[in-house]
Amino acid sequence: MKIMVVGPGAFGIKHLEGMKQIDGAEVVSLVGHSKEKTLKIAKEYNVGHVSSSLTEALDSSEADAVILCTPTSMHAAQAIECMRAGKHVEVEIPLADSWADAEAVLKIQKETGRICMVGHTRRFNPSHQWVHNAVQSGGLGIQQMDVQTYFFRRKNINAKGEPRSWTDHLLWHHAAHTVDLFAYQTGSPVIQANAIQGPIHAELGIAMDMSIQLKAANGAICTLSLSFNNDGPIGTLFRYICDNGTYIARYDDLVNGNEEPIDVSAVDISMNGIELQDREFIAAIREGREPNSSVAQVLPCYKVLYDLEQQLSD
C-alpha cells in the first residue's frame, strides 16, 4: 500500500511515525508548502518523492491513498480532489469548517466509491475503545460525559509550539472530537445542543472560550468546556460518569474515578491512537469496506457544529 502524506507539520509527522509501524504500507510521497522543510522531513523518513503541489503529486506519484494533514480550510477541497484523482483519502479532523463543504465531501465519496475516512482519533484511542467496548457489551451505561479541552494558544502555533499560517477553531476542530465521540460512545444521536462563547480575540478573530451542552436521544448528557486561554496543563480530559463506575480518559490512558490506572494495553495492537487510526484506514482499503470514522459516519457531528454556529451567530 503506497501512501502520500500531505502536510509535514506536527500531525503529519505523527502519521509518518504511525505508518512506520504498519507492515505492507509505505509512504512514497510527501507534500508540503515549504520545499526546504519538506525535503528535510522526507529525508528523515526515507520518502522518495517530494512536492509543493498536491495536484502535481497526484499526477506524478504512485500513491494509492492520501493522508491530509493540512490547514482546516483546505480539508474538504483537497479530499474531493484526491477522490476525483482516484485516491482513497484520510483527512485529519475536522472534515470541513462548514456544513456545505462537509456535505460536498460525502457527495463525492458516494460518486467515486473511494474510501474517505476522517481523523476522529478519539474513536481509536485505547482508553476510549475500552469504554466503548464496555458500553457495547452491556456492562456500562453512560449517564454524562464531562469534557475539558484546554490549550494556551493566543498566537497561531501548532501542537509542537511552532508558528503556523492558519487559525485553529474551538468549534469546528476541537469540539468536533467530543461531539462525535459523545454520539459514538452512547450509541445515540445528539438531539439537543446549546453553546455560548466568550469574547472574540482582536487579532485571531475567533472566540477563545466556549461552553457546549449536548443531549442524546437515550437521555445521556454532555458538558464540554473549551479554551485557548488556559495557561496551565494542556490537552483534553474526558470524564465518563456511568451507571456502573466513573472513568477518566486522557488520550490513550484511562483511570477510574479514584485515579487508579486501568490497563488498556490489551485493547488493541498498539497504544498509539494515531497509528490505530492509520491501521484502520489501510485495513479498510485492503478489505474493500467502510472504515470506522468514515465521512458518512461522522457527518452528523458536522450538522451539530453547524447548528451551534448558527446559535452563536444569532
At 128-171, the pLDDT tens digits run 999 999 999 999 999 999 999 999 878 777 666 777 666 789 99
Give the pLDDT confidence score for residue 164 in this predicted structure. Answer: 65
Grid cell, residue 204, equals: 485571531
Q: What is the number of alpha carbons within 13 Å of residue 10 lying toward its C-beta?
A: 9
Of 132, 136, 118, give the one whose Cα is nearest residue 268. Answer: 132
Yes or no: say if 145 and 87 are a contact pair by the CB < 8 Å rule: no
The pTM of the full predicted model, rounded to 2 decimals, is 0.94
CB 84 within 8 A of CB 108: yes
Query: So what's the pLDDT on residue 39?
Result: 97
14 burial type by CB count under 10 A (0-12 exposed, 13-18 middle, 19+ buried): buried
> What pLDDT score was predicted for residue 207?
93
pLDDT, residue 232, reads 86
- The Cα-based distances of 73 to 54, 82, 119, 223, 265 in angstroms read 15, 16, 15, 27, 36
Identify the segments of the chain with pLDDT beneath 50. none
Dihedral sign computed on CA atoms, order 190, 195, 201, 203:
positive
What separation in angstroms does the CA of 66 have from each of 144, 161, 296?
A: 36, 25, 18
* Residue 22: φ, ψ to 5°: -105, 115
Determine the pLDDT at residue 160. Answer: 65
Cis? peptide before 94, omega within 30° of 0: yes
Rounded Cα–Cα distance for residues 153 and 138 (Å): 40
How large is the greatest C-alpha to C-alpha distance in the chain, in angstroms? 55
Q: Provide the grid cell at 89.
A: 483519502
Give the pLDDT confidence score for residue 159 in this predicted structure: 62
The radius of gyration computed from the CA coordinates of the chain, to the nearest angstrom, equals 19
Sign of CA dihedral 82, 83, 85, 90: positive
Helix, strand and coil percent figures for the chain, each rounded to 5: 40, 25, 35
